[in-house]
Amino acid sequence: MDEFFSCIEVSASIGHWEPADQIKIATLRLTGAAKLFYNGCPELHVADVTWGNFKDAFYQRFRDADPDQFNFMQLQTARQRKGESPREFADRCRAVANKVMCKVDDPAAQRIHRENADRMMLASFVAGLSGVLGTQVRYQAPRDTGHAVSLALAVHEAEKQEKFNETFYARFDNSVRLLARSPSRTSRDDSKPRGTTYTQAAGGLRSQRYVLHVSLIGHRTQRLGTRGPKLPLGAMSAKA
């Protein structure tokens, strides 16, 4: 409601509207429940209704149903939720502070109420920040809400960057360890002893070689492997 009436009043100030024109423009902008309420209030349709009475009727109808003590308690016990950014938390504190702020027609008095609400919001915002972020902001002792939000955002971004760096370097170290543990194909080939294939081939050829030993007695022929004893030529002639 405050934003709606403030927009009408600013437009009226710029366009130099009369109070009756403000009521007509506001009536045309009403929608939903506000329009139904206006249609059901005959006292708002009279010709001598003032702008102040028009606003008071809507404030009485659409004011917050919660008592002021509840809103004060909400502001004093506000805490940053898990996953909530500092800016979102500041917006939530500001909304509750606007509910506890007094509304008066005197501009000077309204400014004082606004300053008090800003101080309460600053205290609740700084006290409600969680973790290292809140500790760092409280160390800086911000002078106003805007300064506190700027500090909180700076610390928040620094924490995000630090977490990103830790994750990045952890993944990099794991990749390096995996590469160090898995030998390359070239190193596996080089690890084999040289001449293995040649030795196996030579062994195969050697296993296929035979020595022919002819025994003159019985005219039998034997095949003796290379690992058997070799008979010199003189021994053969001696047997003969």
The encoded tokens of residue 200 equal 């196996």
Percent above pLDDT 70 for the chain: 67
pLDDT at res. 107 = 86
Q: Is the pLDDT of residue 103 over 70?
A: yes
Tell me the C-alpha to C-alpha distance, in Å, between residue 127 and each of 93, 124, 135.
11, 5, 9
Q: Which two tokens stand for residue 115?
A: 């300053």
Tell if the pTM clears 0.75, that is, is over it. Answer: no
Question: Domain span at residue 94?
Answer: 68-160
Where does a domain end: 139, 160, 181?
A: 160
Angstrom CA distances, 160 to 68, 80, 84, 89, stand at: 38, 17, 13, 17
Q: How confident is the model at residue 198 (pLDDT cuts 50, 70, 90)?
A: very low
In a domain, 99, yes or no: yes
Nearest alpha carbon to residue 120 among 85, 88, 72: 72
Q: How far apart are CA 89 and CA 153, in angstroms?
A: 11
* 54 and 93 fall within a common domain: no
pLDDT range class, residue 122, cuts 50, 70, 90: very high
Q: Are residues 48 and 100 in the same domain?
A: no
For residue 117, the domain's CATH number is 1.10.1200
Q: Are residues 27 and 93 in the same domain?
A: no
Confidence of residue 225 (pLDDT cuts 50, 70, 90): very low
pLDDT in tens, 134-174: 999 999 989 898 999 999 999 988 888 887 777 766 665 66
Q: Is residue 49 part of a domain?
A: yes
8 A C-beta contact, residue 32 and residue 26:
no
Report how many domains make up the chain. 3
- Band of pLDDT at residue 8, cut at 50, 70 and 90: confident
What confidence score (pLDDT) does residue 232 get?
53
| Average pLDDT score, the chain | 76
Do 83 and 115 lie in one domain? The reply is yes
